[in-house]
């Protein structure tokens, strides 16, 4: 048996843990990143490249957020020279008056423009019988958002931009808890679906009982250039990982962590299968989906179980990778779209799909004249094991393709290949991150659902911290965890 000592261990390869580890390494702390052997975040075939996603915020992110990461993690030296960057319009960032994504409903198609007059035109065309009521709904959301921005001197609502990023609960006083569902009760079924699809598309929370204050942030930032820049997050994470190593961090690939014990003095020990190696860090950061840690043994599992009661996955998101000829994409179809085939029915079995097309002309993701197409669909988490059944797999894929052919009429004759093998293999791994969650308790969203700091030495940075904020929530969790650990270390040294 071998004992390894280090200050901080991060279990899992998600973005938030990597951010925390890089910041801690920058402060000269000894950090070991334990990544799952065999987990592949991307899929490549025949010069096509696919990156699965959990929400649209992973495909289109705020430029200021990327710049903040570059500054905090000192990534300037790793940025590509401007002449090496892709030259496609999509890679240069979104211009004013462009759309972030489309919402496709049975009787409506709405382009989400970043300018209010253009967006108003979409409402007027698709919801013409209730356009005044729709306008009032957004005016109320904007008013609430302005109230939140003005409280306690907070210049920006999202706490990431505040110097004290971890004092979320103190930034704003209590506000009236009006929920989105109640506010939408008098609207048409189509408009209610439109709002919910927007909220679900930006994050990983499928709870309809969202506070209107949260909806205001998500919806109003939609038309305030929320999607400032198209960013290759795989490339960005690679840059962060290189900086992590440059600062002195180290990484190992493992099959799994078997046991985590919290000693009498709150010391932490982390055991690999068979107790062949035991790590004794001062702090441990879990950075994989919370529910996949149920198999964990020891006191660590009891601690995590308390928080697993607060949020559970309701759906697993299954990506299908399709290589297509670019000419088949209909005029007016955007690179990102969410489509609901039938109102009032379960989103499963291909009824709800999220679509991501590689930007036209981007040969990093598809050969010339072709485009990579990722279609994400939902399956109940309780049925995950059934995905390995070939008959069920074929049935699900057929349902998704039927839906897709209604959006792209001539798809059948322009498909290069359809691949589902990556999904079959990767979905069983504990690092697989693509889920849609349901909160089990009332949502106090400014404090997060699962805290980043679970005890003095145990931290968690996953999508369950801020599932409604998507990629921004992961960045926030990573920054918070690093600040909290450094604060604890400094407190002990005093």
Check residue 286 and give its pLDDT: 95
Question: φ, ψ for residue 493 (rounded to 5)?
Answer: -80, -15
Average pLDDT over residues 12-19: 93
pLDDT of residue 447: 74
- Evaluate if residue 152 carries a pLDDT over 70: no
Same domain, 316 and 422: yes
pLDDT in tens, 106-146: 999 999 887 778 888 998 999 999 999 999 888 888 887 77
Does residue 297 lie within any of the structural domains? yes
Average pLDDT over residues 169-189: 62
Please give the DSSP secondary-structure letter assigned to residue 95.
Answer: P
Direct distance between the N- and C-terminal alpha carbons of the chain, in angstroms, rounded to an integer: 35
- What is the average pLDDT value for the chain, to the nearest integer? 84
Cα(217)–Cα(470) distance, rounded to whole angstroms? 13
Residues 299 and 354 in one domain: no
Whole-number Å distance between alpha carbons of 52 and 39: 13
Are 350 and 274 part of one and the same domain?
Answer: no
CA distance 142 to 157: 12
Is 328 in the same domain as 179?
A: no
Give the pLDDT confidence score for residue 379 in this predicted structure: 92
Q: Give yes or no for residue 36 having a pLDDT over 90.
A: yes
Convert the pLDDT of each residue in 243-256 to its tens digit. Answer: 999 999 999 999 99
CB 114 within 8 A of CB 224: yes
> For residue 161, what pLDDT is reported?
40
CA dist 182 to 179, 200, 354, 446, 449, Å? 5, 17, 26, 20, 22
Question: Is there a contact between 157 and 149 (Cβ–Cβ < 8 Å)?
Answer: yes
Q: How far is the C-alpha of 75 from the C-alpha of 185, rounded, in Å?
A: 47
What does pTM read for this prediction?
0.89
Q: How many CA atoms lie within 13 A of 315 on its CB side?
A: 22
Q: Has residue 100 been placed in a domain?
A: no
User: Does residue 227 sit within a domain?
Assistant: no
Phi-psi region of 47 (alpha: psi -120 to 50; beta: other; left: phi over 0): left
| Predicted local confidence at residue 179, as pLDDT | 65
* 81-85, 131-135, 351-355: range with highest mean pLDDT: 351-355
My answer on whether 243 and 276 are in the same domain is yes
Which residue in 440, 437, 313, 320 sits closest to 382, CA to CA? 313
Give the number of domains in the chain: 3
Cα–Cα nearest to 395, from 342, 460, 447, 350: 350
**Tokens 């991501």 belong to which residue?**
356
Write b or e for each residue in 281-307: b if 16 or more Cβ atoms lie within 10 A of its Cβ, otherwise e: bbbbbbbbbbbbbeebebbbbebbeeb
Residue 219 CA to chain centroid, in angstroms?
A: 17
Mean pLDDT in residue range 346-369:
94
Task: Assign residue 30 the CATH number of its domain.
Answer: 3.50.50.60
- Structural domain including 238 reads 2-41+234-311+444-493
Token output for 256: 């799994």
The residue-averaged pLDDT of 54-69 equals 85
With a cut of 60, say whether residue 81 has pLDDT above it: no
- The verdict on 419 and 329 lying in the same domain is yes
**Chain-centroid distance, C-alpha 71:** 22
Q: Is residue 105 part of a domain?
A: no
Please report the pLDDT score of residue 82 as a whole number: 42
Which of 279 and 209 is assigned the larger pLDDT? 279
Sheet holding 283-286, edge to edge: 250-254, 31-36, 8-11, 283-286, 458-460
Mean per-residue pLDDT for 273-287? 87
Give the per-residue pLDDT at 80. 56
pLDDT in tens, 195-243: 999 999 999 998 777 877 788 888 876 544 444 455 678 888 999 999 9
- Above 90 in pLDDT, residue 460? yes
Taking CA atoms, 287 is separated from 16, 301, 308, 370, in Å, by 7, 14, 14, 36
DSSP state of 432: -
Of 191, 222, 253, the domain-final residue: 222
C-alpha span between 165 and 472 (Å, rounded): 13
pLDDT tens-digit series, residues 86-96: 444 334 444 44
| Residues 206/315, Cβ–Cβ less than 8 Å | yes
Q: Between 442 and 310, where is the model more confident?
A: 310
pLDDT the model gives residue 29: 95
Report the C-alpha gap between 437 and 335 in whole angstroms: 25
391 vs 40, higher pLDDT = 40
Q: How confident is the model at residue 34 (pLDDT cuts 50, 70, 90)?
A: very high
What share of the chain in percent tops pLDDT 70? Answer: 84
Give yes or no: residues 153 and 54 share one domain.
no
pLDDT of residue 95: 47
Q: Which of 193, 236, 219, 188 is nearest to 59 (CA)?
A: 236
Q: How confident is the model at residue 77 (pLDDT cuts 50, 70, 90)?
A: low
Q: Which pLDDT score, from 0 to 100, does residue 170 have?
A: 39
In this structure, are 321 and 393 located in the same domain?
yes
Burial 163-197 (b: 16+ CB within 10 A, else e): eebbebeebbeeeeeebbeebbeebbebbbbbbbb
Same domain, 304 and 291: yes
Picking from 173, 188, 222, the residue at the C-terminal end of a domain is 222
User: Is residue 366 over pLDDT 90?
Assistant: yes
Residue 215 within any structural domain of the chain: yes
3-state secondary structure of 430: coil
Q: Are residues 150 and 128 in the same domain?
A: yes
Question: Residue 166: inside a domain, yes or no?
Answer: yes
At residue 221, the pLDDT reads 64
Flag whether pLDDT at 335 surpasses 60.
yes
| Domain end marker among 199, 222, 245 | 222
Burial zone of 277 (CB within 10 Å; 0-12 exposed, 13-18 middle, 19+ buried): middle
- β-bridge pairing 99-105 and 2-4: unpaired
Q: From CA 308, how far away is CA 236, in angstroms rounded?
A: 30
Tell whether 118 and 195 lie within a shared domain.
yes
Look at 50 and 120; give whichever has higher pLDDT: 50
Cα–Cα distance for residue pair 209/438, rounded to 1 Å = 10
pLDDT on residue 337: 96
Cα radius of gyration (the chain): 22
Query: Are 338 and 203 within 8 A, CB to CB?
Result: no
pLDDT for residue 318 is more than 90: yes
The residues with which 286 forms a beta bridge, in sequence order, are: 11, 460
- Would you state the torsion angle of the CA atoms of residues 19, 20, 21, 25, taken in this order, to the nearest 10 degrees? 100
Residue 244's pLDDT is what? 96
Residues 9 and 56 in one domain: no
| 229, part of any domain | no
| Of residues 45, 20, 50, the one with CA closest to residue 32 | 20
Q: Which of 179-193, 215-229, 266-280, 416-430 has the highest mean pLDDT?
A: 416-430
- At 314, list the tokens: 């309701």
In a domain, 385, yes or no: yes
């Amino acid at each position: 048996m071998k004992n390894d000592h280090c200050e901080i261990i991060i279990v899992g390869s998600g973005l938030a843990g990597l951010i925390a580890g890089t910041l801690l390494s920058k402060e000269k702390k000894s950090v070991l990143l334990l990544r799952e052997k065999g987990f592949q975040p991307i899929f490549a075939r025949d010069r096509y490249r696919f990156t699965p996603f959990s929400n649209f915020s992973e495909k289109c992110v705020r430029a200021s957020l990327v710049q903040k990461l570059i500054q905090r993690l000192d990534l300037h030296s790793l940025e590509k020279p401007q002449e090496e960057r892709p030259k496609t319009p999509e890679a240069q960032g979104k211009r004013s008056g462009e759309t972030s994504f489309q919402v496709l409903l049975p009787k409506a198609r709405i382009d989400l423009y970043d300018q209010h007059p253009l967006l108003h035109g979409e409402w007027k065309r698709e919801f013409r019988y209730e356009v005044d009521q729709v306008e009032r709904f957004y005016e109320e959301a904007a008013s609430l958002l302005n109230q939140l921005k003005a409280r306690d001197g907070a210049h920006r609502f999202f706490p990431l931009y505040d110097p004290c990023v971890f004092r979320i609960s103190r930034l704003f006083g209590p506000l009236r808890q009006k929920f989105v569902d109640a506010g939408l009760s008098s609207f048409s079924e189509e408009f209610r679906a439109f709002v919910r699809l927007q909220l679900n598309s930006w994050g990983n929370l499928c709870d309809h009982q969202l506070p209107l204050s949260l909806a205001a942030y998500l919806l109003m930032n939609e038309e305030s250039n929320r999607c400032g820049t198209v960013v290759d997050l795989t490339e960005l994470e690679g840059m962060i990982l290189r900086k992590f190593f440059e600062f002195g961090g180290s990484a190992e690939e493992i099959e799994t962590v078997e046991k985590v014990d919290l000693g009498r003095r709150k010391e932490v020990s982390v055991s690999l299968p068979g107790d062949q190696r035991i790590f004794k860090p001062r702090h441990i950061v879990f950075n994989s989906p919370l529910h996949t840690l149920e198999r964990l043994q020891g006191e660590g599992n009891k601690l995590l179980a308390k928080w697993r009661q607060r949020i559970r996955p309701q759906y697993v998101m299954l990506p299908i990778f399709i290589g297509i000829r670019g000419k088949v994409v209909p005029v007016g179809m955007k690179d990102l779209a969410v489509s609901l085939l039938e109102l009032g029915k379960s989103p499963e079995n291909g009824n709800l799909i999220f679509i991501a097309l590689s930007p036209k002309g981007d040969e990093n993701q598809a050969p010339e004249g072709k485009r990579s197409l990722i279609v994400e669909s939902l399956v109940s988490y309780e049925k995950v094991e059934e995905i390995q059944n070939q008959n069920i797999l074929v049935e699900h894929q057929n349902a998704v393709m039927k839906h897709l052919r209604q959006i792209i009429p001539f798809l059948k004759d322009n498909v290069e290949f359809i691949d589902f093998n990556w999904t079959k293999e990767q979905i069983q791994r504990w690092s697989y991150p693509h889920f849609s969650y349901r909160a089990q308790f009332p949502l106090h969203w400014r404090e997060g659902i699962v805290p980043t700091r679970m005890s003095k030495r145990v931290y968690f940075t996953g999508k369950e911290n801020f599932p409604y904020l998507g990629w921004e929530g992961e960045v926030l969790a990573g920054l918070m965890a690093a600040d909290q650990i450094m604060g604890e270390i400094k407190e002990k040294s005093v």
